[in-house]
Amino acid sequence: MKFIKLLHATFYLCKMPVKNNISLKPYNTFGIDLNTKYFFEVKSVSDFKEAVAFSKTNHAPVQIIGSGSNVLFLNNFNGLIVKNGLLGKEIINETDSYLLLKVKSGEDWPLLVDYCVQQGWGGIENLSLIPGTAGAAPVQNIGAYGAEVKDVIEEVEVYDLQSGSIVTFSNNNCAFSYRNSIFKTSAKKRYFVLSVTLRLIKNSSAKLNYAPLQKYFAKRDQRSITVKEVSDAVKQIRRSKLPDPDELGNAGSFFKNPVVSEKKFKKLKNSNPDIPSYPIDNSQFKLAAGWLIEQCGWKGNRIGDAGVHAQQALVLVNYGNATGNDILNLAKQINKSVKDRFGLNLEFEVNVIE
């Protein structure tokens, strides 16, 4: 009887098991306790092809996840969760001034940054401690402390779910913009990122165009600051403001900072002289969503176990037993408050999975 039950609990693709009725709680940093009908961790391209074949045969929708740091599950998932387990990195070209590092998409991003910093390679040190995998970095065009990953991406290798072929996107073809890329817009859900190639700089100079970093290194000669010192500073600043998902369920910044036209910015500035802003170009300004949310009185507030972090209003947290819908309803209420007061719609940075 035990053997029969095991056969019902696990489906096999060649040598790789597809697990059945698996809890998603360990696979999302919000700690939402829901189940998925099927679960499969891929560790090679052939694994992924088998997962796609399984999903078609079983008429199961597919959801790919990395570290689960940017997803909010609302319900049990009646399909196949594919966990990205592609690991490995290699230098594919190197000169006296730079190197190209090809990184498999399942590599942990914070550990990758630490590895590059330890080698003295510059380019991603400002992106220290951003949770997630290397494959999610180009999709989201992750950024922090005055840097964006698009500035160091050479190319992105993907698997095309429509054609079954492997395609390489150059940086220019990724259509990068603020927290966005072709992989989130016109080609959303078409491609599975296999690897990312980063152009990293030897003897890199510190990038300190973000105010907290300028303040941190105010008494230092910028030319003497190492990539490790920048990384350590970023980590210290992040830890002082952002909760550890292992201690308090969250997915980092829930909302994107809104980008507005110069006309809209001037109108907001007239009625809100203290509004923080960052010029993107001559016609667009980025506003601080956290400040907007705080002005609406949400910082530190909670509804049941769903709350807004006390140190950073951009971060929504699960105090223990919040459901995905609890978090989503809180986000909607926050958005309504910001829209009513400032006339701005806050876009979710987190992917909501129904």
Catalytic residue among 157, 179, 181, 195: 179
Distance in angstroms (rounded) separating the CA atoms of residues 336 and 323: 20
Catalytic residue among 69, 181, 231, 253: 253
Token digits of residue 106: 């399942």
Q: How far apart are CA 343 and CA 199, in angstroms?
A: 40
Question: Are 120 and 229 a contacting pair, CB within 8 Å?
Answer: no
Between CA 78 and CA 80 the distance in angstroms is: 7
- Within 95-248, strands assigned E span 98-104, 121-122, 143-144, 147-148, 153-160, 166-170, 191-202
User: What DSSP character marks residue 205?
Assistant: P
Within 76-166, residue ranges assigned H as helices are 109-119, 136-140
Asked about 349 being catalytic, the answer comes back as yes
Annotation marks residue 341 as catalytic: no
* Annotated catalytic residue 271: no
* CB count in 10 Å sphere of residue 152: 23
Catalytic positions: 179, 253, 349
